[in-house]
Structure 1
Amino acid sequence: MSQPAARPESDPYEDACARAIEACGGDTHGTIKALLIANEFLEAQLTELRTAVSLGYARGKLHEYVVALPEDRKDWYD
């Protein structure tokens, strides 16, 4: 007997896109704008966290980000 056709797995990105568009009331321009704002926020958080990680802990991997740190960071630890 023939096997039933395998149902294709849903693409998680397609599902996420559909949910994002639905969350913005079907407005694709608004969805893109919201995603760009969210991405900008996450990039800012990443930059902040990179500066907070000690150079020794990162084993020098963040050197290009740490070079721009201020000499005196005492206020960060108050």
Structure 2
Amino acid sequence: MTATPEPSRPATFGVEAAADQAIAAWGGDAREAVKALLVAVDFLEAETDELRTNVSKGYARGRLPGARERKDEADV
């Protein structure tokens, strides 16, 4: 007997509540909440870049194309 898969929830599920929580964390100031989230995204991107450069090429096996490009740019 084959089970019918349930439709997945929309990607926006919970986003409204998370947005409200972020704004509330900054005392209701949406601009400050957005600035804090931008800083967090920047930090996470930097962490991702660092991890990509530190992962061995044998382990990644070409799955991280950005790492090679960054290495080439650093050699210039």
Scaled by the length of structure 1, what TM-score is found?
0.69
Q: Which residue of 2 aligns with 1:44?
A: 46
Percent identity of equivalent pairs: 48
- What is the aligned-residue RMSD (CA, Å)? 1.8
Counterpart-to-counterpart distance in 2, 1:14 and 1:20: 10
* Structure 2, unaligned runs of 5 or more: 1-12
Structure with greater Cα Rg:
1
Q: Deviation digits for residues 26-58 of structure 1, max 9, x if unmatched?
A: 000000000000000000000000000011101
Q: Which residue of 1 aligns with 2:17?
A: 15
Aligned length: 61
1:64 deviates by 3.6
Q: After the TM superposition, which segments of 4 or more aligned residues of structure 1 sit over 4 Å from their partners?
A: none
Q: Which residue of 2 aligns with 1:57?
A: 59
* Structure 1, unaligned runs of 5 or more: 1-10, 72-78
1:65 deviates by 1.1
Q: Which residue of 2 aligns with 1:6?
A: none
